[in-house]
Structure 1
Amino acid sequence: MRILGLMILVVGIIFAISAFTMDVSVLAGNGYRVNNIGLMSTRQNGIILGGFISLCGLLLAIFADKLKSSDLKQVKCPFCAERISPEAIKCKHCGSNVEKNPLTEIAAGNDEVNHDSSYPIYLLVAVLCIFAVIGVSLIISRMHY
């Protein structure tokens, strides 16, 4: 995830730099160049979009470790059914001693994994949907000029 975030960050920076270097002037009569309001607006949108993409990539790169935390792999306490770490000896919720047995460890590896482990997938899908919407809006806005 961190690598994906860094790649998105680089793409956003490149996009913003290309928007900054965009020529917004057009040739007028007598060899003069004047600023075009439409091109200035396109440059402004590119800078904002590049900044947004860079921010998303930076946040994804920073918080990638948080998505892989040990909280995603928890088992249920046999006494109170609250989620606890598989290495726990005592439940933090009810205070009962939790014995380690092979059946609990097998269950922890297979069925009792917290179902929040799909959270990074949902985050990735959300980020890709946002980029798809932004890309389509850019294509549509380019068709008008």
Structure 2
Amino acid sequence: MRVALFVTCVNDMLYPDTGRAVVALLERLGVEVDFPTGQTCCGQAHYNTGYRRQAEPLVRRYAAVFDGYDHVVTPSGSCAAMVRDNFPRIAARAADEGRDNGLAEAAAAAVPKTYELTEFLVDVLGVTDVGAYFPHTVTYHPSCHGLRMLGLGDRPR
């Protein structure tokens, strides 16, 4: 099984330890993780602010960078939702405008193998206990993208 980490541009810039923690967790569970250095942004910032066409090259880039991997894991529900929900929308809109240029193929390649981290743990690896322990009470706030666009349900818990 070939697994790649999509660390996301926000994690890369603001929370680089998140990527390291994901790799440590997955490796502890016996998963060999690659980190393709050509990865950039999923295009969510562009798309959400009305720059859909500027997001199109990022759809192609994502598909190209993660080509050959069985699974792409990201610690971001919003980025996973961007790939799975919005990449096909971007491709469909470009096709409607007569500018497909491989977007439909790129989206079709990216969508089925992109997973939010907890979804990958539960649905692919079958892991519901990662052996973590934290001796304090915490509050978990499920993300809107995770709940509504990905349908993660209780997986993060």
Structures share fold, TM-score greater than 0.5? no
The structure richer in helix per residue is 1
So what's the TM-score if we normalise by structure 2? 0.27
So what's the TM-score if we normalise by structure 1? 0.28
Q: Which structure has the larger Rg over C-alpha atoms?
A: 1
